[in-house]
Amino acid sequence: MPLPQAFFKDLPEKSDEQLYDILGHLDNYVPEAIEAVRGELLRRDLPPERAAKLEAMSQQKTADEQQRSDASLGWIVRIVMFISSVTLILAMVGLAIVPARYESQGYRKKARQCWTCWGLGLCFWILLAIVILVLR
């Protein structure tokens, strides 16, 4: 499948940095696009020092992106996610079963209190998550 004409039309408008960024992400482009970018860079006839600097910057940016991509989740966030998943499951069970049971048995006040406690619990976990995120 040939490249769209818009790709070739936009190449001259891209900055040198953008072109080197494309070369830093070879897996994201078809070979024809890479060749077109290389051709555009050759046409621009950049000084060797500038080309070397741009290539180094692109490689560093790619390495930084890879490092971010491979970064592990912190333990605080892991714990918060674990607790919130349990809380969510319990909340759904409590939300669906307990108040409905009380309501069906005529305990309207107990059903309302279930909803109130559920809402307060939800607010508590949301506030706790916010505090943890803010304190990071």
What's the CA gap between 62 and 46, in Å, rounded?
21
Range 38-62 average pLDDT? 93
pLDDT at 40 over 80: yes
pLDDT reading at 80 higher than 80? no
- pLDDT tens digits for range 68-77: 878 877 788 7
What pLDDT, on a 0 to 100 scale, did the predictor assign at position 18?
94
Per residue, the 3-state secondary structure of 58-106, as one string, reads: HHHHHHHHHHHHHCCCCHHHHHHHHHHHHHHHHHHHHHHCHHHHHHHCC
- Predicted TM-score (pTM) of this structure: 0.54
Residue 54: per-residue pLDDT: 93
